[in-house]
Structure 1
């Protein structure tokens, strides 16, 4: 009886330690590998904390910005909504990485790189798969949520609407 109890305790200890190792691997080791690969390519970013990544820094920068700008809203709404992107762009350049939880995000504001990415023809370039099930009821199978061949087809259909000539025509419409 005592031997069976010792075996059960041993099994529980092994299972718990395996679970802890797995959680540590998912929450820290894998994201650290991604950060390391990007840093070898010259892409830096703010240092993340263990569980929250850069979310606490984002909140702090946002609250500091709100306190500092009590005046009227400006046309630069991106700076008002995401002041941490502006601050990190000043520190790390136009291409940097930041972390939300254990997810690594690559921020690109360099227009040349954005244009190169938009010309990329792979069907793998699309939206994160982990967001798809939660957003389906809200967005359906739109270009915002789709991947693969469906995404490529939808992009091909809507791309002509964003050509410079069509955008200029819309911009010239008189206000009613």
Structure 2
């Protein structure tokens, strides 16, 4: 009987490790491989943090450079080269469609207008909206607008 008491915590710990491995590493890796087979690539993520360290490094480097060198923009209101230099550099390196990760969440970055239109019109109910984003940006957008899906969507 004492062996059962020792076996249960071991089984519980092993199950927890297997769950965390699947959730944090294996599922994002499977998604990346499926997209890579379709020709969609991107920067390689680190374990647990994804591409966040690369983003921070690129933002520090971008602050040292003039904005014109990074984005090629010649107007004052171009904030994307300052706030999102990683997206501009990755778009140059990987094309208009690439995959990057924030934490363990893979994000598909699309800048082709026709593809954005097709995705937003055809699959809006299938994609849904992550609860974390909705809660974080509710004060900015409210319950309607860009981040809402379904019957509350305003065009």
TM-score, structure 1 as length reference: 0.74
Write out aligned runs for 1:58-97 (5 A): 58-69=55-66, 74-97=76-99
Query: What is the CA distance between 1:126 and its match in structure 2?
Result: 4.7
1:99 match: 101
Alpha-carbon distance in structure 2 between the residues aligned to 1:48 and 1:98: 7
Moved over 6 A (4+): none
- By relative contact order (CA 8 Å, sep 6+), the higher-ranking structure is 2
- Match of residue 37, structure 1, among 24, 34, 39: 34
2:4 match: 7
1:159 match: none
CA RMSD, 1 decimal: 2.4
Residues 51 and 101 of structure 2 are in contact (CA less than 8 Å); yes or no, is this contact kept in structure 1? yes
Deviations 1:65-98 (A, max 9, x none): 1122399x94321111100001101110000000
Structure having the higher Rg? 1
2:72 match: none
1:169 match: none
2:122 aligned counterpart, secondary structure: coil
- Match of residue 23, structure 2, among 16, 21, 26: 26
Query: What is the CA distance between 1:11 and its match in structure 2?
Result: 1.0
Gaps of 5+ in 1: 156-176
TM-score, structure 2 as length reference: 0.82
